[in-house]
Amino acid sequence: MTDFETQLKELLERTKNIKSPINATFGETNINEYNKPSEVWMNDVQIFYENYLKDYALGERIKSLLLHRGLGAYSNLVSCLESISKDSNFINKKKQAIPKNSMDLLRQLLGEDNPVEYMRYLFKESDNKSDSRLRAMMRDLKEKDYIITFHGQIMCHTL
């Protein structure tokens, strides 16, 4: 499971324990305390948006919801993330994305059941520029002894 998938799943899982925000209260309920979990969640969605969703089909809608944060923003953001979680084409593209640096690559390799197949897939899908970046990242990880290659296998040391 990629970092993208893990974060998306975690954000959706957290919604099961968060109540929708309110703008009026009766009795001793403190609105700010009541709304705090949903506000923190929306802040986390904003970070997730900045990292992964700017170019997504629902990106502009999510950006607008995060900017205005009306009373219905929380439930609308939940529905957007639920839709994203069902978009297998987008998730597959995120899986194919080449990591930005060698530590991201290492994290990805550690999360894979078969790191060799994952690397083969990345090299197969990469262009010349990405191919040289992947080779440089692999070299960097080998030099730092984070990975060992042995008879076509990749062994990763945990972080």
Q: Give me the residue spans of the domains in the chain.
A: 3-92, 98-156
pLDDT number for residue 126: 66
3-state secondary structure of 17: helix
pLDDT number for residue 29: 84
Q: Which residue has the tokens 């076509």?
A: 152
Angle, helix 88-96 to helix 115-125, in steps of 10 degrees: 90
pLDDT number for residue 129: 64
pLDDT number for residue 8: 96
What is the model's pTM? 0.66
Residue count (the chain):
159
Taking only the tens of pLDDT, the chain with its 159 residues reads 777 899 999 999 999 999 999 988 778 888 999 999 999 999 999 999 998 898 899 999 999 999 999 989 999 999 999 999 999 999 888 776 666 677 777 777 777 777 777 777 777 766 666 677 777 877 777 787 777 776 666 666 554
- Identity of residue 109: L
Residue 99, both tokens? 């990591």
